[in-house]
């Protein structure tokens, strides 16, 4: 019998010092007792196991019969031999002490409503994509990503975001964080690892840059967005790259002013700097047509980063870089040595979803849902606190009154009621002496729980 034909794989270490049958019985008992063979696990047929272990079929049959008699196994005609469902296994290791109780409702920013994932459309896209995928698609892939997805992205980004995207300059990554790691690595290796990052901004992204060899300097944000006019001056004179969110700044919620967009690209052209454009919430503008990407005006100075996390879901781990020509080879080399390539099946499915306009339909669906959630949030606030920024995205930022409870008190009160909130101070490079505020994510909890979460929010906010 060929080993490759075995129907059920079973790893056993036999000690035949007391006889082969006794050794097999002992190995099976140990595997059941240790939990490696859970209750109701089906065992290989006696002929198959005998061939695998180099024993006679009679020896295996006798061992099975003995363990059936002892109650370790059960044998049923036509159903084979299984581990007895009554057999207890070793107790599980003690659980670690419980952490803080989870929030009943979570209004912290950063996550979409994963209940809006288009399961039916995705399944259809997977089926269509796999039906025509070449055999080589299941092997090791190009670090840049599947050509089907890079071609689809080039068309979509040009049409929807104004990005000048040659498929040869697109690198598919496993999320935005990996894109940031790749760019930081390339900048570090080129000796230009000092990076300006928006202040306020997401602290986790600053830590990602630092952990991969970058030095982070704060780039102030005001009502016109990132202070691109400060790049190349003062403490920012030695910056080699600037990471910005022009479409909808996180967390301030503003759009980068046209004069700042020009200042940003002028700085990059003048000193060979790199603009890293995080197109955060770029497709989710609710009051008007979204502004186009900065990359479309300066493709040789901007590394554009987009992701499917908000429109589809973070679980897909699919994002993309559109790179200046000079960065393609070093980023591809860094990607090759980081994880070789991003998983393929999801890339093929996303390419199909884009080509059949299913992705456009999904963006419109979630855009409508998030606009409704934002409108409901504003209605529940009832003018008590002012929501800052444009009508866009998946979060809202509000300032707390100077004469009311501080940020820490509001967060503590919310936690005591089982409500997760995020403070504004933690988003600043230096939290001290910053205005008190909240960053409220309205993409979750699920739709049925969202009104109750807003009711609870109204109870803990200053009146």
Q: Do 345 and 383 fall within a single domain?
A: no
Is 209 part of a structural domain of the chain? yes
- Between the alpha carbon of residue 171 and those of residues 114, 153, 178, 283, 307, the distances in Å are 25, 10, 11, 20, 12
Q: Do 66 and 126 fall within a single domain?
A: no
Is 100 part of a structural domain of the chain? no
Q: Do 335 and 419 fall within a single domain?
A: no
pLDDT digits 0-9 by tens, 31-90: 999 888 999 899 998 998 998 888 999 999 999 999 999 999 999 887 789 999 886 555
Q: Is 461 exposed, middle or buried (0-12, 13-18, 19+ CB in 10 A)?
A: buried
Residue 292 to residue 157: CA distance in whole angstroms: 10
Look-up: residue for tokens 């996390």?
Answer: 309
Q: Do 157 and 213 fall within a single domain?
A: yes
Q: Do 146 and 55 fall within a single domain?
A: no
Q: Do 225 and 314 fall within a single domain?
A: yes
Helix axis angle for 176-189 and 325-338, nearest 10°, is: 110
pLDDT for position 443: 94
pLDDT digits 0-9 by tens, 276-288: 999 988 999 999 8
pTM of the model: 0.88
Residue 247 to residue 88: CA distance in whole angstroms: 58
Q: Do 40 and 175 fall within a single domain?
A: no
Q: Do 172 and 313 fall within a single domain?
A: yes
Q: Do 47 and 65 fall within a single domain?
A: yes
Residue 332 to residue 315: CA distance in whole angstroms: 23
Number of domains in the chain: 3
Is 22 part of a structural domain of the chain? yes
- The proportion of the chain whose per-residue pLDDT surpasses 90, expressed as a percent, equals 78
Q: Could you tell me the residue range of the domain that residue 442 belongs to?
A: 105-111+364-460
Residue 100 to residue 103: CA distance in whole angstroms: 9
- Among 312, 338, 360, which residue terminates a domain? 360
Return the CATH number at 355.
Answer: 3.40.640.10
- Between the alpha carbon of residue 172 and those of residues 49, 145, 243, 296, 380, the distances in Å are 45, 5, 19, 19, 40
Is 337 part of a structural domain of the chain? yes
For the chain, the distance separating the N- and C-terminal CA atoms, rounded to the nearest angstrom, is: 79
> What is the SS3 assignment for 427?
helix
Residues of the chain with pLDDT under 70: 1-8, 87-101, 432-433
């Amino acid at each position: 019998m060929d080993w490759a034909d075995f129907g059920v794989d079973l790893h056993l270490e036999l000690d035949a010092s007391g006889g082969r049958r006794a050794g097999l019985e002992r190995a099976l008992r140990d595997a059941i007792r240790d939990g490696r063979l859970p209750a109701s696990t089906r065992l290989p047929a006696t002929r198959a196991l005998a061939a695998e272990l180099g024993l006679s079929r009679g020896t295996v049959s006798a061992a099975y019969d003995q363990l059936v008699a002892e109650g370790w196994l059960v044998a049923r005609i036509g159903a084979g031999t299984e581990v007895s469902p009554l057999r207890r296994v070793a107790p599980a290791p003690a659980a670690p002490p419980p952490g803080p109780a989870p929030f009943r409702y979570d209004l912290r920013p950063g996550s979409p409503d994963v209940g809006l994932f288009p399961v039916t459309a995705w399944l259809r896209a997977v089926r269509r994509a796999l039906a025509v995928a070449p055999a080589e698609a299941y092997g090791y892939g190009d670090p840049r990503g599947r050509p089907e997805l890079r071609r689809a992205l080039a068309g979509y980004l040009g049409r929807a975001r104004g990005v000048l995207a040659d498929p040869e300059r697109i690198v598919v990554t496993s999320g935005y964080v990996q894109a940031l790691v790749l760019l930081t690595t390339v900048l570090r290796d080129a000796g230009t690892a000092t990076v300006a990052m928006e202040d306020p901004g997401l602290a986790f992204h600053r830590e990602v840059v630092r952990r991969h060899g970058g030095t982070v300097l704060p780039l102030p944000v005001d009502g016109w967005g990132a202070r691109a006019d400060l790049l190349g001056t003062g403490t920012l004179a030695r910056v080699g790259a600037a990471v910005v969110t022009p479409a909808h700044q996180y967390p301030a919620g503003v759009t980068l002013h046209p004069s700042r967009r020009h200042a940003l690209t002028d700085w990059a052209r003048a000193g060979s700097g790199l603009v890293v454009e995080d197109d955060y919430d770029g497709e989710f503008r609710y009051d008007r047509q979204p502004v186009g990407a900065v990359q479309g005006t300066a493709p040789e100075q901007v590394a554009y980063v987009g992701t499917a996390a908000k429109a589809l879901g973070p679980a897909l781990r699919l994002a993309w870089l559109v790179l200046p020509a000079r960065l393609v080879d070093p980023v591809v080399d860094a990607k090759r040595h980081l994880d070789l390539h991003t998983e393929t099946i999801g890339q093929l499915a996303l390419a199909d979803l884009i080509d059949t306009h299913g992705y456009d339909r999904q963006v419109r669906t979630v855009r409508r849902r998030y606009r409704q959630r934002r409108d409901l949030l504003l209605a529940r606030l009832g003018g008590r606190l002012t929501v800052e920024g444009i009508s866009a995205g998946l979060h809202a930022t509000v300032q707390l009154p100077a004469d009311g409870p501080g940020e820490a008190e509001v967060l503590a009160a919310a936690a005591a009621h089982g409500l997760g909130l995020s403070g504004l101070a933690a988003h600043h490079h230096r939290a001290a002496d910053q205005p008190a505020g909240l960053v409220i994510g309205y993409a979750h909890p699920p739709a049925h729980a969202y009104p109750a979460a807003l009711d609870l929010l109204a109870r803990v906010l200053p009146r």
